[in-house]
Amino acid sequence: MPSIRTSIRIPAPPARVWQELADISTHVEWMADAVAIRFTTDQQEGVGTTFECDTKVGPLRLVDVMEVTSWEDERRMGVRHVGLVTGTGEFTLTPAGADGGLTDLTWTESLVFPWYLGGPLGARVATPVLRRIWEGNLRRFARRI
């Protein structure tokens, strides 16, 4: 299961970054690979929230089914992928700068691809593509702050 990790320093404190990140419904506005999000629970934040995300990478389209597994305000949000592609993902926020007025936002994903998407070989091929997409996603996210 390859792990993809990317991060960006944002010129805002963790509280401000979290305010934007915690609104899962807006992730499609800055994630180039996320087309639509549908919540499958009444709650839209916190541990136990589940949702489906229509995902598109090049010609590949799938529904990414996720459950929020960790939620620490201003610190981290984790998900478990339980659809066609399985695995885990996490955003972590780390205060930075002398006064804590900056935030290092790190995005880590560990994904398992099914055999019909190439299995481990497909995951290895997808890793640099996904890393590039997610780096762009974090840049778009940072511009929203």
Residue pair 50/65 in contact by the 8 Å Cβ criterion: yes
At residue 56's C-alpha, the angle toward residues 84 and 124, to 5°, is: 60
Domains of the chain listed by start with CATH number = 3-144 (3.30.530.20)
- pLDDT over 70 (residue 117): yes
Cα-atom radius of gyration of the chain, to the nearest Å? 15
Dihedrals φ, ψ of 117, to 5°? -110, 20
- pLDDT over 60 (residue 142): yes
Span 70-113, pLDDT tens digits:
999 999 999 999 988 899 999 999 999 988 899 999 999 999 88
Residue pair 52/40 in contact by the 8 Å Cβ criterion: yes
Give me the sign of the Cα torsion angle 36, 82, 135, 115. Answer: negative
- pLDDT over 90 (residue 9): yes
